Structure 1
Amino acid sequence: MAFLVAGTLRVAAMVADTQESLRRKGKYSTQGPKVALTLSSPGVSASTVAVLEGIFRALRVESWQRREALVQGFLGELAGFREQLDAHGGPVGCVLVALVAPSGLLRQPQQLVQELSRCGALRGCPKVFLLLSSAPGAAPEPGAFLTSLGELCGRCPHWSLLQLLTEVFCRIAEEFSGATYCPVLRSSLRGALCLGDMEPWGLEAFQEELAQFREWLDAHRGPVSCALVALMAHGGPQGQLLGADGQEVQPEALVRELSCCRALRGRPKIFLLQACRGGHRDAGLGPTALSWFWRWLRAPPATPSHADVLQVYADAQGSSSRGPTAGSSDQADILMVYAAAEGCVAYRDETGSDFIQTLVEVLRADPKGDLLELLTEVNRRVCELDVLGPDSDERRKACLEIRSSLRRRLCLQA
């Protein structure tokens, strides 16, 4: 009986640790102190250590240590570090460990990783290992990986760590095109890990991301044929996007960010917006008002009240209008697809967005089709769906809104 009680309490403690770490669904909570350790073999350059410390500072690490040892002594050093963390007494938010050794000596690092996995203070918390190899006789300056990672950690603290690493890998691939060198990551993370203590999808981040995306496109050497941006956020009654911090931004401001991109001049710019545009829950029109008898006979489904409408805004005189309806020349070649009609709720559930999932199905079925025609088919399928509103058991309807100023047919595959 004592064994059963002890086992139950141990499992309960592990569940509590996990819930504390993943306090917000899909994202690690790093409210506890973030600690770091640089463990390097003799001869590692001071500039490499300095870059690592700069990365730790950018990631808001509260304290870090540096220890030097032969590779054979790394396990003992990590055991001492683990004991130090367990003796800390309080919870730890995250730990980062940089292991720097000559190339080929860190072939089987799993023993080192498992040593920290045994740490009680880190149960359910993210443990990040940077396994860095240095070639004999290499230049004393840090390599492309650390240089790029340090720069991105300082510029994009709101990015998740996986985002940062993917961008670093991309930069290295561009810098060393044709080379056999390529970093690799192995992850068993259960949620997003954002170490910069900033909301990863705040609206300031949206604007900053698009600005950086525009700069990257303008610096791209080859031609760009098309740009596609998916925006997913909470939405307000005036069509504005709402961030978790309460900030607001109009989607048009994000569209303008790409409209001034030189590389996209005259090229299609596609925006997919999964966000509410108000609080109205559309019950639809038609058979829902019929008696149960006709519904039992499988009457056609209700039609969303905003469906079956086509509106065209143009200048009747054919001049280059700058008015708010016809649009100016810098608004050309833009396609915006809203998951909800104006004033309505955009539905999604634990399986995802009906709009996005249906779009994927249609594009896979006909990848060479005209995009406007494909989006019309997506809307037809979405309109036929019945969704359950979050505040009642009554069926609701959804309808897309497609806004286009494309000047040519657009097929995503030739």
Structure 2
Amino acid sequence: MAFLVAGTLQAAAQVADARDSLGRKGKYSVQGLRVALTLSSPGVPAATVAALEAVFQALGFESWERRDALVQDFLRELALFRKQLDALQSPVGCALVALVAPRGQLRQPRQLVQELSCCEALQGCPKVVLLLSSGAGAALEPGAFLAGLRELCGRRPHWSLLQLLTELFCRVAEESAGDIRCPVFQSSLRGALCLTSEEPWRPEAFWEELAQFQEQLDTYRGPVSCALVALMAHGGPQGQLLGADGQEVQPEALVQELSRCGALRGCPKVFLLQACRGGNRDAGKGPKALPWYRRWLWVPQPALPSHADVLQVHADAQGSSCSGPAPGSSGQADVLTVYAAAEGCVAYRDEMGSDFIQTLVDVLRVDPGRDLLELLTEVNRRVCELDVLGPDCDEPRKACLEIRSSLRRRLRLRV
């Protein structure tokens, strides 16, 4: 017995000015009632239904309902379910519908999804649709898939649903024998969908993820040549990373923790930090004034960040303000840390993302075999020439990277 995930996520796509469904920008608020429904055709094993109910429970759904019907009656059952939700007096935070039928019988899933999207009670709310195939000829076994999803929900309660599904798809593809069988999801979600009560990106999550990453490296059978970690979060006035629960963690402490990894001893460790390191907003410094008779020959130069064009060399590392490994320790060597802002300054990003990360990607694509420090210097040059506008000011501001390196060899990411 097996199943096929034909498309797992489909949110309302044509809802204009939906009611305030995002508790904060970029994340859905699912504080209302969570409802789940299983529509199964005759002959679906009870074990599959039980596995679905276990997934509902792991995702935090308070109530779920099962209805047996022929596949041709699924649309009618969904219409009844929609009317049932519209008649509720309490707000709905999220809906999950699982459709289980023999392989090849769910030929028009779009009509079923559209019926759910027409529900007024779910306008602006995330709607999750699982399309499962069972019976002879199906590609994948449903019990293992659902058990894997439930296990990931328990191990990664702070992950979004898209992150959970991506990790699960990776496992399914690796475990498939012969031809690779990989599920697919379609998404029009407008924000992160975290169905568990734990906040994502809390400091404990940083430590947990780093510990899991270090454990994977230490148990990896093959040699490890390099590690790269990107940390993106809100930053505090002293450069600390702020979690969603208000707790703090110093990024240097995370760097020190990974430096203890036995598999990375003597290997380069690269950290990219997109976070504010204070509240200063650098207006930059313009070019020095020139006599009138030379101005018309001078090409206008952009303002530069106040922190640009400086190289500090700490021979014993005691002059550095970072709270990393002790001077002379083995964990101090072979570390490259790149901050998106100078110490004490704001790190800027907009709806298109981080200027630092986007510029880094552009530079790496042009010449990935070049020395990484040279590439990062070019990234900093481009970032310094940008004029950025913060969310709380109308005047142009400047940004400048800070690159800290204890690399003992040149590092090329591609030979």
The gaps in structure 1 that reach 5 residues or longer are: 1-13, 317-322
Rounded Cα–Cα distance in structure 2 between residues aligned with 1:64 and 1:150 = 16
Rounded Cα–Cα distance in structure 1 between residues aligned with 2:30 and 2:290 = 54
Aligned to 1:343: 344
Rounded Cα–Cα distance in structure 2 between residues aligned with 1:107 and 1:225 = 48
Q: 1:32-111, aligned counterparts within 5 Å? A: 32-111=32-111
Rounded Cα–Cα distance in structure 2 between residues aligned with 1:169 and 1:291 = 66
Output the aligned Cα RMSD. 2.9
Rounded Cα–Cα distance in structure 2 between residues aligned with 1:167 and 1:408 = 34
Rounded Cα–Cα distance in structure 2 between residues aligned with 1:396 and 1:201 = 28
CA drift at 1:15: 4.6
Which structure is richer in relative contact order (CA contacts within 8 A, separation 6 or more)? 2
CA drift at 1:122: 1.3
Does the aligned pair in 2 maintain the 1:288–1:302 contact within 8 Å?
Answer: no
Tell me, yes or no, if structure 1 residue 307 matches structure 2 residue 322: no
Tell me, yes or no, if structure 1 residue 259 matches structure 2 residue 259: yes
1:357-414 deviations in Å (ceiling 9; x for gaps): 2211211111111101100111122222233354444433221111112222111111
The letter of the residue matching 2:386 is L
- Judged with a 3 Å threshold, the aligned counterparts in structure 2 of structure 1 residues 351 and 91 are, in CA distance, closer, same or farther, namely same
CA drift at 1:288: 6.9
CA drift at 1:225: 2.8
- TM-score of the two chains, using structure 1 as the length reference: 0.86
Rounded Cα–Cα distance in structure 2 between residues aligned with 1:373 and 1:49 = 57
The gaps in structure 2 that reach 5 residues or longer are: 1-14, 318-323
The letter of the residue matching 2:278 is G
- Judged with a 3 Å threshold, the aligned counterparts in structure 2 of structure 1 residues 210 and 324 are, in CA distance, closer, same or farther, namely closer
Does the aligned pair in 2 maintain the 1:313–1:326 contact within 8 Å?
Answer: no
Deviates more, 1:23-32 or 1:366-375: 23-32
- Judged with a 3 Å threshold, the aligned counterparts in structure 2 of structure 1 residues 38 and 171 are, in CA distance, closer, same or farther, namely same
- Judged with a 3 Å threshold, the aligned counterparts in structure 2 of structure 1 residues 162 and 392 are, in CA distance, closer, same or farther, namely closer
Does the aligned pair in 1 maintain the 2:273–2:338 contact within 8 Å?
Answer: yes
The letter of the residue matching 2:118 is R
Does the aligned pair in 2 maintain the 1:358–1:381 contact within 8 Å?
Answer: yes
SS of structure 2 residue aligned to 1:402:
strand
Aligned to 1:328: 329
Rounded Cα–Cα distance in structure 2 between residues aligned with 1:119 and 1:333 = 56
Rounded Cα–Cα distance in structure 1 between residues aligned with 2:157 and 2:209 = 12
The letter of the residue matching 2:43 is G
Aligned to 1:373: 374
- Judged with a 3 Å threshold, the aligned counterparts in structure 2 of structure 1 residues 290 and 157 are, in CA distance, closer, same or farther, namely farther
Rounded Cα–Cα distance in structure 2 between residues aligned with 1:252 and 1:366 = 29
Aligned to 1:179: 179
Rounded Cα–Cα distance in structure 1 between residues aligned with 2:266 and 2:150 = 36
SS of structure 2 residue aligned to 1:272:
strand
- Judged with a 3 Å threshold, the aligned counterparts in structure 2 of structure 1 residues 85 and 408 are, in CA distance, closer, same or farther, namely same
Rounded Cα–Cα distance in structure 1 between residues aligned with 2:371 and 2:239 = 27
Deviates more, 1:217-226 or 1:266-275: 217-226
Tell me, yes or no, if structure 1 residue 204 matches structure 2 residue 204: yes
Tell me, yes or no, if structure 1 residue 398 matches structure 2 residue 408: no
1:331-381 deviations in Å (ceiling 9; x for gaps): 322211001111111122233222112211211111111101100111122
- Judged with a 3 Å threshold, the aligned counterparts in structure 2 of structure 1 residues 214 and 354 are, in CA distance, closer, same or farther, namely same
The letter of the residue matching 1:97 is V
Rounded Cα–Cα distance in structure 2 between residues aligned with 1:97 and 1:149 = 15
Does the aligned pair in 1 maintain the 2:97–2:129 contact within 8 Å?
Answer: yes
Tell me, yes or no, if structure 1 residue 20 matches structure 2 residue 1: no
Rounded Cα–Cα distance in structure 2 between residues aligned with 1:188 and 1:34 = 19
1:274-306 deviations in Å (ceiling 9; x for gaps): 111111222334527789999886543333232
Tell me, yes or no, if structure 1 residue 129 matches structure 2 residue 129: yes
The letter of the residue matching 1:361 is D
Rounded Cα–Cα distance in structure 2 between residues aligned with 1:70 and 1:219 = 49
Does the aligned pair in 2 maintain the 1:47–1:142 contact within 8 Å?
Answer: no
Aligned to 2:3: none
SS of structure 2 residue aligned to 1:281:
coil
The letter of the residue matching 2:80 is G
Tell me, yes or no, if structure 1 residue 352 matches structure 2 residue 364: no
Tell me, yes or no, if structure 1 residue 281 matches structure 2 residue 267: no
Rounded Cα–Cα distance in structure 2 between residues aligned with 1:179 and 1:61 = 35
Rounded Cα–Cα distance in structure 2 between residues aligned with 1:294 and 1:211 = 60
> Between Structure 1 and Structure 2, how many residues are aligned?
394
CA drift at 1:152: 0.8
Rounded Cα–Cα distance in structure 1 between residues aligned with 2:157 and 2:262 = 27
CA drift at 1:177: 5.7
- TM-score of the two chains, using structure 2 as the length reference: 0.85
- Judged with a 3 Å threshold, the aligned counterparts in structure 2 of structure 1 residues 218 and 129 are, in CA distance, closer, same or farther, namely farther
CA drift at 1:150: 0.8
Does the aligned pair in 1 maintain the 2:308–2:400 contact within 8 Å?
Answer: yes
SS of structure 2 residue aligned to 1:216:
helix
- Judged with a 3 Å threshold, the aligned counterparts in structure 2 of structure 1 residues 107 and 57 are, in CA distance, closer, same or farther, namely same
Does the aligned pair in 1 maintain the 2:200–2:244 contact within 8 Å?
Answer: no
- Judged with a 3 Å threshold, the aligned counterparts in structure 2 of structure 1 residues 82 and 221 are, in CA distance, closer, same or farther, namely farther
User: % of aligned pairs identical?
Assistant: 77
Does the aligned pair in 2 maintain the 1:32–1:93 contact within 8 Å?
Answer: yes
SS of structure 1 residue aligned to 2:381:
helix
Tell me, yes or no, if structure 1 residue 384 matches structure 2 residue 385: yes
CA drift at 1:219: 4.2
Does the aligned pair in 2 maintain the 1:314–1:326 contact within 8 Å?
Answer: no
1:146-192 deviations in Å (ceiling 9; x for gaps): 12111111121221111111000111112126424211111222222
SS of structure 2 residue aligned to 1:359:
helix
Rounded Cα–Cα distance in structure 2 between residues aligned with 1:113 and 1:352 = 31
